[in-house]
Structure 1
Amino acid sequence: MSFREKMPTSPNSPLTRRRRSSWSGSWLNHPATSFKQVVSAVIQAQSPRSRSKSLTPDFSDIDRTLSLSDSLLLKILQKLPQSQNDDLSLVCKRWLALQGRRLMTLKLYDWDFLLSGKLLSRFPKLTDLDLGTACINPTRNSGILVCHKSISFHISSDSSNSDFVEENILQSEMIDRGLRVLGRGSCDLLKLVVINATELGLLGLAEDCSDLRELELHKCSDNLLRGIAACENLRALRLVASVDGLYNSSVSDIGLTILAQGCKRLVKLELSGCEGSFDGVKAIGQCCEVLDELTICDHRMDDGWIAALSYFDKLKTLRISSCRKIDPSPGPEKLLGSCPALESLQLQRSCLNDKDGLRALFKVCDGAKKFNIQDCWGLDDDSFSLAKAFRRVKYLSLEGCSILTTSGLESVILRWEELESMSVVSCKNIKDSEISAALSSLFSLLKELKWRPDTRSHLSSSLEGAGIGKRGSKFFKKR
């Protein structure tokens, strides 16, 4: 008989017991054992009394986690992977409460949960709350989900009403009730998204949540903005007045002026679907002296509003997104000023065939160092040639400019003496075969070049061997 045959195979043999002497082995041999029991076993195993008795933890003992303070147990739970967070709340009532204290960001889907007061009792440490989806009555038993940026909702398959959202948004009185409940909860709210609130609801919330820093208001109107002044610590604001196919509202020069006078400490501002004109934009530029970033999205503004951008002395980033026009009649060019601190101009998903408006915009933003055009239509060689007005461009990014040609690109960037980096992606009329010697020479001086104008481009694969896009490091040194 061999030595292996003489080895004891009984589960109760001394050798088998020695192999199962560690607490980790016990956990592996008991799949039903919870994480809480394992923590208890670790605590028990560390005590001198348990060491003298046995090395194998006994899961039938009392809950050893009760000896840990909430703060210490929270630190332990924070070490767990994000994927296990939902399971923690199922262990016991104490762990359910602790898990609620850990959650700081939440998107609400049930408005009644807020009105009942359970939201803040369940999650007392919320700082970022999105009420947008909960402000719309859901369609029960529907598998069709409609999403628009921060808003999502279900509709029925037989719904043919284009005003579904407008008709199913909760009444303003109901929204204000929820905001009052939120204010009375004494939570340290820093960011909030809400639809169809009123001036009174916003005023009440601002009094109770004085630390509010970011606010996103949908279906916004001039009257609602009267409550903005109470948000003294507001730093970022997104106003959504009208969204085609969802809901309609109006923010005019009156609302923009109220906003300017009440939110003088704003750093970021987005105006989406807003009306107004030169006067309203000018008021914001004059009053919001520390405004750093401005986004104009799907605007309905009157002609001439671009000239007001010169009143923004500290503006660094200007973003124009989803606009069907820029400014068809910006006024005399000699009356256009410039944004002295502007560093970045970004044009996204907008129509750029308005040459007068584009010329005025480039004139006001002529000091920008970063210039980005993404998925815009109507940008041909003539329109892009207006970018010669820029004097200090160091970074250019073009994406989805399908009718811009190689010669149109070359005629502009060869004039930019400070250009250091460039990215050209999905611009199918820009061809490798049309690159001139002058353009190739410019490429060799760039610090960074990303060149994928179409699927047939071979230049990107040959950059490494030719040194294009890398030699610039010798000429452009960081200081």
Structure 2
Amino acid sequence: MHHQRRHRLKSWPDLWFGDAPPKHVVVKMQHLGDQTLALDRPPAAPAAADLTARLSDELLLRILAALPDHLRGPSSLVSKRWLRLAGRLRRSLTLLEWRFLHRRLALRFPDLTDLDLVPASFSSSSASTSAAVLNRGPVSVPVEPHADPPIGYRRFLPPDAIDRGLDAVARSFPGLRKLSVAAPIDSQSGLIAVADGCPTLQELELHRCTDLGLRPISAFNNLQILRLVGSVEGFYAGPGVTDIGLTILAHGCKRLVKLELAGCEGSYDGISAIGRCCAMLEELTISDHRMDAGWLAGLSFCANLKTLRLVGCRRIDTDSGPIEHLGSCAAIERLQMQRCQLRDRRSLHALFVVCEAVREIVFENCWGLDNEMFSSASICRRVKLLSLEGCSLLTTEGLESVILTWKDLQNLIVVSCNNIKNNEVSPALSSLFSDLKELKWRPDTKSLLAMSLAGTGMGKKGGRFFKRRIMPGQQRLKGKAEEDSSK
């Protein structure tokens, strides 16, 4: 009797593994009492010995510290111990999430000396569906077009949340040396806690700063570098800092060495108060200022000021007053102007009068610096270095008329000033070039491009690269057309 062979439908495990039992798969079966059964478990391999286990933390820290920066991150993935030790090597950190400040920051990075809390000081709306995002440095803020206003104070964390965060910073990082944070509105407890808990703090950056927010500034006994940001146009607005705040600052921070005022208001009273009280001030930076008329005259009280920097200012001084009342900064060495709008020759002349003893003058991408405006710099007779970059209105004649009067000039940098031409350099100016210690001369970008392309054949109406190619068939058609036209 012929027995018909029955074919059994294979199950998924049979299709997957075939007839051979799994050799490298552990199958766990749930049973009563949560018992598990392992089928064909391979023998466990012995764990690799940790060759660094016998090294002390101090010795391993020295080894990790010798690694290049790009290798410290991957090295922290070796083990939990290496992760913990790599965190101790971190000194600078920019925080993006405020909640991390209370949970794991001190455990993960216990020895921070430089902490930036500004990006984390902005509150994010989880209900916002706007696709528009405003970026300013490391900070990204969603913009709600239908809100009124779309951006502003409501984007910052509440003052009590910032105070609690600053209190946690004071408890966790006693060796902190630099802190950047959004100042809490109408509150002083957070900054006072930082001043008490971080006695070595030397550099402080306060955003959204107000006059009242500067009251605890005197509690920072060792503060030497201070940056105040009252408001940032297009990002956030606020009451800012006025003469009242500048006066509080002057009496509270008498050991200041560097000061930056960004988006701040003020006048002669506030600047002169800083000059009288902050006798150690050597560097002053004023960015996007909203100063009242006459503030330039207050600079003469800064007896030890060596560097004056103006950044992104739409004007210098609307009314600087009589020239004889301006005074001067006797110790000034460096005057830098970056992305400034030079609209008034009288105010620029007043600035040069105050900085008459300057040794270095730097103009970088300043709008409006033409021959007439630049001629005011001729009163500065001690200039040793001049740097011009992106000053497209200044010509060769205007440059020559000033620098030929500077007998002490040693360094000259001219970059991307397209109205200064190589073919307009006079013999007198060429002779001056030969006497300089440093000369960086790339004024006309078109001339520079032509020099770099010399000998390549490019730039000559296409040259050999753009000649029209005529096919043989086209050549015969052209010859026949010429023959027909002759008949």
TM-score over 0.5 for the pair: yes
Query: Contact (CA 8 Å) 2:111, 2:175: kept in 1 or not?
Result: yes
Task: Specify the alignment match of 2:114 in structure 1.
Answer: 128
Aligned partner of 2:308: which letter? Answer: L
Q: CA deviation at 1:456?
A: 3.0
Task: Specify the alignment match of 1:44 in structure 2.
Answer: none
Paired with 2:396 and 2:148, the residues of 1 have a C-alpha distance of 46
Write out aligned runs for 1:250-265 (5 A).
Answer: 250-265=240-255
Query: Contact (CA 8 Å) 2:133, 2:143: kept in 1 or not?
Result: no
Counterpart secondary structure, 2:236: coil
Number of equivalenced pairs: 403
Q: CA deviation at 1:433?
A: 1.9
Task: Specify the alignment match of 2:200 in structure 1.
Answer: 211
Instruction: Find out whether 1:407 has 2:394 as its counterpart.
Output: no
Query: Contact (CA 8 Å) 1:324, 1:351: kept in 2 or not?
Result: yes
Instruction: Using the TM superposition, name which of 138-147 and 292-301 deviates more.
Output: 138-147
Distance 1:143 1:326, change over 3 A: same
Aligned partner of 1:233: which letter? Answer: N
Deviations along 1:236-264, whole A, 9 cap, x unmatched? 00000011111222201110000011111
Q: CA deviation at 1:153?
A: 1.4
Instruction: Using the TM superposition, name which of 165-174 and 58-67 deviates more.
Output: 58-67
Distance 1:158 1:456, change over 3 A: same
Paired with 1:136 and 1:82, the residues of 2 have a C-alpha distance of 30
Aligned-residue sequence identity (percent) comes to 52
Q: CA deviation at 1:300?
A: 0.5
Q: CA deviation at 1:61?
A: 5.3
Instruction: Find out whether 1:78 has 2:68 as its counterpart.
Output: no
Instruction: Find out whether 1:356 has 2:353 as its counterpart.
Output: no
Distance 1:445 1:459, change over 3 A: farther
Paired with 2:95 and 2:74, the residues of 1 have a C-alpha distance of 20
Distance 1:123 1:97, change over 3 A: same
Q: CA deviation at 1:165?
A: 4.7
Distance 1:156 1:352, change over 3 A: closer
Query: Contact (CA 8 Å) 2:294, 2:320: kept in 1 or not?
Result: yes
Paired with 2:183 and 2:360, the residues of 1 have a C-alpha distance of 37
Task: Specify the alignment match of 1:294 in structure 2.
Answer: 284
Q: Which of 188, 209, 217 does residue 220 from structure 1 map onto?
A: 209
Deviations along 1:213-256, whole A, 9 cap, x unmatched? 11110000000110110011011000000111112222011100
Instruction: Find out whether 1:176 has 2:166 as its counterpart.
Output: no
Paired with 2:450 and 2:366, the residues of 1 have a C-alpha distance of 24
Paired with 1:443 and 1:84, the residues of 2 have a C-alpha distance of 46
Q: Which of 53, 65, 79 does residue 52 from structure 2 map onto?
A: 65
Q: CA deviation at 1:266?
A: 0.6
Query: Contact (CA 8 Å) 1:452, 1:460: kept in 2 or not?
Result: no
Deviations along 1:329-351, whole A, 9 cap, x unmatched? 00100111111111000011001
* TM-score calculated relative to the size of structure 1: 0.80
Q: CA deviation at 1:437?
A: 1.8
Instruction: Find out whether 1:321 has 2:311 as its counterpart.
Output: yes
Task: Specify the alignment match of 1:378 in structure 2.
Answer: 368
Task: Specify the alignment match of 1:155 in structure 2.
Answer: 142
Paired with 1:164 and 1:343, the residues of 2 have a C-alpha distance of 40
Paired with 1:63 and 1:455, the residues of 2 have a C-alpha distance of 60
CA RMSD of aligned residues (A): 2.2
Instruction: Find out whether 1:112 has 2:112 as its counterpart.
Output: no
Q: CA deviation at 1:156?
A: 6.2
* TM-score calculated relative to the size of structure 2: 0.79
Query: Contact (CA 8 Å) 1:373, 1:398: kept in 2 or not?
Result: yes
Counterpart secondary structure, 1:164: coil
Paired with 1:142 and 1:69, the residues of 2 have a C-alpha distance of 52
Q: CA deviation at 1:139?
A: 5.8
Query: Contact (CA 8 Å) 2:422, 2:444: kept in 1 or not?
Result: no
Counterpart secondary structure, 2:179: strand
Instruction: Using the TM superposition, name which of 127-136 and 90-99 deviates more.
Output: 90-99
Paired with 2:151 and 2:93, the residues of 1 have a C-alpha distance of 25
Extract unaligned runs of 5+ from structure 1: 1-57, 463-479
Counterpart secondary structure, 1:65: coil
Instruction: Find out whether 1:89 has 2:76 as its counterpart.
Output: yes
Task: Specify the alignment match of 2:221 in structure 1.
Answer: 232
Query: Contact (CA 8 Å) 2:97, 2:120: kept in 1 or not?
Result: yes
Deviations along 1:71-110, whole A, 9 cap, x unmatched? 0111122233322322333332222211111111101011
Deviations along 1:129-164, whole A, 9 cap, x unmatched? 000100012466988764324x41142697877632
Query: Contact (CA 8 Å) 1:171, 1:196: kept in 2 or not?
Result: no
Deviations along 1:20-69, whole A, 9 cap, x unmatched? xxxxxxxxxxxxxxxxxxxxxxxxxxxxxxxxxxxxxx984543422111
Query: Contact (CA 8 Å) 2:152, 2:237: kept in 1 or not?
Result: no
Task: Specify the alignment match of 2:327 in structure 1.
Answer: 337
Paired with 1:460 and 1:211, the residues of 2 have a C-alpha distance of 56
Paired with 2:149 and 2:424, the residues of 1 have a C-alpha distance of 48
Bigger helix share: 1
Larger radius of gyration: 2
Distance 1:139 1:87, change over 3 A: farther
